[in-house]
């Protein structure tokens, strides 16, 4: 009876160590995921607070049926405009930009084809910053 008690104790101790090893590794993994998410959140908040995109002017070229919207970056962050979106009256549209990147204090031109009329123009930057303007021909 003494030997079986010892074997049972060893099995219970081994099971307990394996259990706590699994729990500990899961804790470390989840803690690392939370830390990475917090760092990403801080970076996103920083970028959003330092984004100041403004629509300076716009004009419509009736011969080519194209709107041209001049946008200035008055913030301290730069963006790749291929990661940005243009929404016209609630619909995602394709657009052309004069430069692929917009740097602080730089003005670029965004152009898109549309028939004459009044449109709600929205530029959405990669960090979630949005700027609205009603454009009309």
- pLDDT per position as a tens digit, 44-64: 888 888 889 999 999 999 999
Whole-number average pLDDT of the chain: 90
- pTM for this one? 0.71
Tell me the pLDDT tens digit for each residue of 101-121.
999 999 999 999 999 999 999
| Residue 59: per-residue pLDDT | 93
Q: How does 77-114 read in b/e, with b if 16+ C-beta sit within 10 Å? A: bebebeebebbbeeeeeebebeeeebeeeeebbbebeb
DSSP state of 43: H
CATH of domain 52-136: 2.60.40
Integer distance in angstroms from the first to the last C-alpha of the chain? 96
């Amino acid at each position: 009876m003494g030997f079986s008690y010892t074997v049972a104790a060893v099995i219970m101790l081994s099971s307990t160590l394996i259990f706590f090893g699994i729990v500990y590794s899961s804790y470390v993994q989840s803690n690392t995921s939370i830390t990475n998410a917090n760092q990403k959140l801080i970076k996103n908040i920083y970028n959003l607070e330092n984004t100041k995109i403004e629509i300076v002017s716009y004009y419509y070229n009736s011969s080519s049926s194209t709107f041209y919207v001049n946008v200035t970056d008055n913030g301290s962050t730069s963006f790749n405009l291929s990661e940005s979106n243009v929404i016209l009256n609630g619909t995602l549209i394709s657009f052309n930009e004069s430069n692929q990147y917009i740097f602080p204090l730089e003005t670029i031109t965004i152009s898109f084809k549309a028939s004459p009329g009044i449109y709600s123009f929205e530029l959405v930057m990669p960090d979630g910053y949005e700027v609205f303007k009603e454009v009309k021909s």
